Amino acid sequence: MNLAVDIGNTHVKMGLFVKKELKDVFLKDTDIDHILDAYKIKNAIISKTGSNDLIAYKLKEKKVNTILLSHDLKLPIKILYKTPETLGADRIAGSVAAHALFPENNILKIDFGTCITYDYTDSKGHYIGGAISPGLMMRIKALHNYTQNLPLVDPMQFGSVDLTGTDTTTSILSGVINGIKEEVLGIIKEYNLRFGTLKVIATGGDMGFFVTLLKSEIFASPYLVLEGLNRILNFNI
């Protein structure tokens, strides 16, 4: 059994795999004790963007064969990024999974996480690059932190967002959420113009806010990074 660990800036996700099949997902780093007690984990892989070291320590303690994802590993795609050493491990893993889903297509992967990342992989499996943009809560917090009077808004309290805000709170939500929506649609359009037909895949913790708002055909995959990590792990053991 494999364990794939995605340590992000805000959240931790762990996926249990039997060969290529995802069996279960855990969303707290403290679940690692239960996982190691309940399952026979032979191999593990960690994608680390945040600073959490608990899981790596526990895996080492149990002597689980563990790989830390980096661009130096043998990968199912070819990285053509000019500075691969600066490329986030989660971006690599998500792009590997996206290419596996649609191996003969140009792919734009959009990860709605702490940051919104755009990653383009061509139909030959060449990872070219992409873009990094502030995420949902980063934009909301910036409005609060860099002004005197704007409140800190919780988007989870609102079921929908109108184009025209009727008070300060809904104006903030309209500006941020509709701003992200139009940004994403514009970037998808530009990639289509430049590279032709492509598949668009969405993932990340804030994916649910935007997938239904976007009129483009988007394939939603909440555990894309975990799927990619497991593929990379199987590729290296």
Give the residue numbers annotated as catalytic, written as ranges. 90
Q: Let me know how long the chain is.
A: 237
